[in-house]
Amino acid sequence: MRLKGGLGLVLLAVFLSAQGDIVLALAVGRVRVAVWPWILAEPLFYLALTLLFAHLYVWVQTLRRLALSVAVPCTALSYLLNSLLSSWELSEPVGSRHWAGLCLIALGVGLIAVDSSSEQSRLE
């Protein structure tokens, strides 16, 4: 399985998922009454669905190129990206312990990616 192209797809999938989550949160925030069925009248809801369906398509392509044991842990980067985007786009407060935990997650993902890369090099 090709690692480099697969990691790019993982990052794209993570971005689409995180941005879809943010847009969905914005859509739900605009609906002032019970969410269902009124959310169907909110245009941002459809943008969120589009982003999340795009994520699903990219994820399927990712799984064609990367081992599941590498791809799934890399999706933990979505925690980091969701926190960054919610802080910037939704003005949600994110504390220092939260950031410290996110750094540990990023470190773990980096270790998996480096280990997978070196293992791929040995196989070639």
Position 124 pLDDT exceeds 70? no
Residue 32: Cβ-neighbour burial (10 angstroms; 0-12, 13-18, 19+): exposed
- Is the dihedral angle over the CA atoms 39, 40, 45, 50 positive or is it negative? positive
The residue among 112, 17, 108 whose CA lies nearest residue 71 is 112
Of all residues in the chain, the percent with pLDDT exceeding 70 is 90
User: In the prediction, which pLDDT does 4 show?
Assistant: 64
The residue among 107, 94, 76, 103 whose CA lies nearest residue 14 is 76
pLDDT tens digits for 31-80?
877 778 888 999 999 999 999 999 999 999 999 988 888 888 888 889 99
The lowest-confidence range among 18-27, 60-69, 105-114 is 105-114
| Whether the Cβ atoms of residue 27 and residue 44 lie closer than 8 Å to each other | yes
**What is the pTM (predicted TM-score) of this model?**
0.82
The residue among 108, 33, 23, 32 whose CA lies nearest residue 70 is 108
| Whether the Cβ atoms of residue 63 and residue 18 lie closer than 8 Å to each other | no
